C-alpha cells in the first residue's frame, strides 16, 4: 500500500477507484465498503484509493479537543494495509478545505487531482461544505465527468448494524467483547513503559506502567481486563488495570498498568502493544492489601482459564 500525506502527492493514471471518509476503527461496515472498492478496482483493472483526512474534521470544525477516537493514524494505516488497499491518501483537513462545495470537491479533487473513474460509497455518505453532497449529487455529475458511482446499500450495511460511534460507546462502557466483534479484531492500545511505584512487585504481580498514549485515543471504562501484550514480535497474555488504584494510591491520578504472565526482562522506555480480550471486573477499593492480593490471584486464575 502506498501512502501519501497530501492529495498533490498522488499521481493518478485515470484508473482510480475511490472512496472517501474518516474510517475510524476500520470496522466491519468499513470493511464491506473497502472490499467492494478493491473488488471493483480488480474487475476494471484499476487501483483502489482511499481518501481520508487528518486531523479528524471535528477537531477543525468544532474545535472538539475532547474528541476520542478508536484508532490513532498509525493503527488505521496498519489495519488498511492488511485489507489490501492500493493507495491511502491522508489529506490535511483545514477550514479552507472544508469550504469546498460538493460540486467543487467532485471537479477539483475527485476528477482533476485523483482521476476518479469509479466511486464506491456507503448509502449515507456525505461530503463537501456543510455535508451537502450525497449519492444523488454524485449521480447528477457522473455523466458530465464520465465517472461511475456505486452505492453500498442500506440493506448491505445495516446487516452489520455498526458504526464508529457505536464502537466508541461499547469501549467506554467496558464492553470489549462487543467492540471486538464490531471491529473483527481486538481493540488495541499502544504506549511506552514508564517507571512506576513498583508496588505490584510487593503483591506478587509486577506491572508495566503504560504512558505516552495518544491524547485522542479512546480508553475503556476503568477496571481490570484480560489482555494480550505484543513486544518485539512475541506475544504474552496478561491482565491490565485502568483506573485510580483506590486501595494503594490517594493521588486520584489515572494509570494504566499491565501484569504480563511469564515475562522476564526489562521493558522500561520500550514500546508495547496491548490487545484487549475481555473485561474481568470493575475497579474497587479493598479493605486491606491482603484482600487486594487475594483478588489479583483470582483475576489471574480467571485469565489463565481462558488461555487455549
CB 101 within 8 A of CB 128: yes
Q: Rounded to the nearest 5 degrees, what angle is found at the Cα of 105, between the Cα atoms of 103 and 110?
A: 115
What's the pLDDT at 196? 67
pLDDT at 134 over 90: no
Helices 73-83 and 28-43: angle between axes, nearest 10 degrees: 50
CB 244 within 8 A of CB 283: yes
All cell numbers assigned to 190? 499502544
Q: Each residue of 92-105: pLDDT tens digit?
A: 999 999 899 888 98
Q: For the residues 281-307, what does the mean pLDDT come to?
A: 92
CB 126 within 8 A of CB 133: yes
Measuring CA to CA, how many Å separate 141 from each of 13, 123, 133, 158, 170? 21, 17, 11, 27, 39
Q: What is the pTM of this model?
A: 0.91
Amino acid at each position: 500500500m502506498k501512502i501519501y500525506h497530501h492529495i498533490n502527492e498522488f499521481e493518478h493514471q485515470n484508473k482510480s477507484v475511490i472512496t472517501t471518509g474518516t474510517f475510524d476503527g476500520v470496522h466491519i461496515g468499513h470493511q464491506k465498503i473497502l472490499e467492494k472498492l478493491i473488488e471493483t478496482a480488480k474487475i476494471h483493472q484499476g487501483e483502489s484509493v482511499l481518501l481520508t483526512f487528518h486531523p479528524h474534521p471535528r477537531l477543525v470544525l468544532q474545535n472538539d479537543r475532547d474528541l476520542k477516537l478508536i484508532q490513532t493514524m498509525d493503527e488505521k494505516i496498519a489495519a488498511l494495509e492488511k485489507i489490501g488497499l492500493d493507495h491511502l491518501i491522508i489529506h490535511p483537513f483545514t477550514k479552507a478545505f472544508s469550504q469546498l462545495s460538493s460540486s467543487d470537491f467532485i471537479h477539483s479533487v475527485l476528477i482533476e487531482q485523483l482521476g476518479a473513474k469509479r466511486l464506491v460509497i456507503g448509502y449515507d455518505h456525505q461530503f463537501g461544505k456543510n455535508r451537502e453532497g450525497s449519492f444523488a449529487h454524485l449521480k447528477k455529475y457522473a455523466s458530465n465527468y464520465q465517472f461511475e458511482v456505486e452505492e453500498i446499500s442500506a440493506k448491505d450495511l445495516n446487516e452489520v448494524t455498526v458504526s464508529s460511534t457505536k464502537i466508541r460507546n461499547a469501549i467506554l462502557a467496558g464492553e470489549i467483547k462487543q467492540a471486538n466483534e464490531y471491529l473483527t479484531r481486538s481493540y488495541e492500545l499502544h504506549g511506552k513503559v514508564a517507571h512506576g511505584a513498583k508496588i505490584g512487585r510487593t503483591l506478587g504481580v509486577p506491572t508495566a506502567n503504560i504512558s505516552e498514549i495518544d491524547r485522542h485515543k479512546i480508553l475503556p471504562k476503568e477496571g481490570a481486563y484480560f489482555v494480550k501484550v505484543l513486544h518485539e514480535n512475541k506475544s504474552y497474555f496478561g491482565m491490565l488495570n485502568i483506573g485510580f488504584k483506590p486501595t494503594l494510591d490517594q493521588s486520584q491520578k489515572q494509570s494504566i498498568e499491565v501484569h504480563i504472565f511469564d515475562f522476564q526482562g526489562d521493558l522500561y522506555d520500550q514500546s508495547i502493544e496491548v490487545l484487549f480480550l475481555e473485561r474481568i471486573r470493575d475497579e474497587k477499593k479493598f479493605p486491606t492489601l491482603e484482600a487486594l492480593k487475594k483478588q489479583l490471584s483470582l483475576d489471574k486464575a480467571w485469565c489463565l482459564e481462558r488461555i487455549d
